[in-house]
Amino acid sequence: MRGDEFEKYLSHELRVVNRSLPRVRKSLKTLLEERYPHVPTRDGGAHMFRKRELIAAAEVLGDEAEELLLPIVLEFQVSAERTYAVVRDPVAAKLIARILGLPEETPIFVYPVQLRELRRRVGSLITYAFLP
């Protein structure tokens, strides 16, 4: 494989993993009012949310639920030595901290072992982004 082919493949792979990121994010309140809660994605598709997970998130957050923008983007820094995700949105960080029983701080760092619980409780509300 030539050098430029590597570059091409790297950018292709980053495009592939990030193609399903949301084009717009919607608030939890808006999504709860929709019949089919979803957001459009960059590749022209849609990311659908499970209603029971939306309700569960609203219950966990209480009054702050209206400010939560979905889906929650978990950013993976490719240049980092270890694999972990960062959540920068303060309301989303609060939700994750409460689900995982972590101290409420922004940004919050999520390690792969903690993703399991997150997926089980709010799997359709999260999405992954890979940053070069």
Residues of this chain that bind other proteins (CB under 8 A): 1-3, 6-7, 9-10, 13-14, 16-21, 36, 38, 41, 45-51, 76, 78-79, 83, 112, 115-116, 119-120, 123-124, 127-128, 130, 132
Nearer to other proteins, 45 or 104 (CB): 45
Q: How far is the CB of 63 from other proteins (least distance, A)?
A: 27
Q: How far is CA 112 from CA 21, 73, 82, 83, 118, in A?
A: 19, 15, 10, 7, 10
**Nearest-approach distance from CB 99 to other proteins, in angstroms:** 15
Q: Where are the beta strands (DSSP E) in 13-91?
A: 26-27, 38-40, 46-48, 69-70, 72-77, 85-87
User: Of 45 and 105, which CB lies nearer to other proteins in the complex structure?
Assistant: 45
Taking the complex as a whole, the smallest distance from the CB of residue 33 to other proteins amounts, in Å, to 16
The SS3 of residue 16 is helix
Q: Is the distance from CB of 54 to CB of 107 less than 8 angstroms?
A: no
